[in-house]
Amino acid sequence: MLNTTTIKETRGDKIFKASVLVFVIIATLIVLYPLVYIISASLSNPNFVNSGEMWLLPKGITWGGYKIIFENQDIWNGYRNTIFYTLLGTFINLAVTLPCAYALSRPELYGKKKFLGFMMLTMFIWLYNFCSG
């Protein structure tokens, strides 16, 4: 028979958990408010948005803005390009990465350490350039 014991929370643990919960709720509200506002503003009548009558929930719901946007051919070209580049980029990445990963997993690969070192060096250079602006 297993002897299972539970760890009792101290008063400090409970206070800490409660304060973390309050912080997470406040942070979530701070993040969600602008998102809900943008969606509500996009669905509301522009007159209500411009006059400040729309605060959080949509007023005078209209789909006119979305109709105008989706009638624009450039939007559909952008979607097509995004899907094409995503699929092509994923295919090329997999076509290069999978054979490379398989080859590097083999212990008998000649020059494995040098090749891994080269890959790590280029990765760190890219990471440095990416993080420094």
* pLDDT tens for each residue of 87-120: 999 999 999 999 988 998 998 989 988 988 998 9
Q: How confident is the model at residue 133 (pLDDT cuts 50, 70, 90)?
A: low
Average pLDDT of the residues in 48-66: 90
What does pLDDT average to over the chain?
91
| Mean pLDDT in residue range 119-127 | 90
Q: What is residue 4's predicted lDDT score, i.e. its pLDDT?
A: 64
pLDDT of 57 over the 80 cut: yes
In this prediction, residues 46-68 reach a mean pLDDT of 90
First to last CA, the chain: 59
Tell me the range of 11-20, 55-64, 116-125 where mean pLDDT is highest: 11-20
pLDDT on residue 72: 92
Looking at residue 1, what is its pLDDT? Answer: 58
- Calculate mean pLDDT across residues 69-80: 93
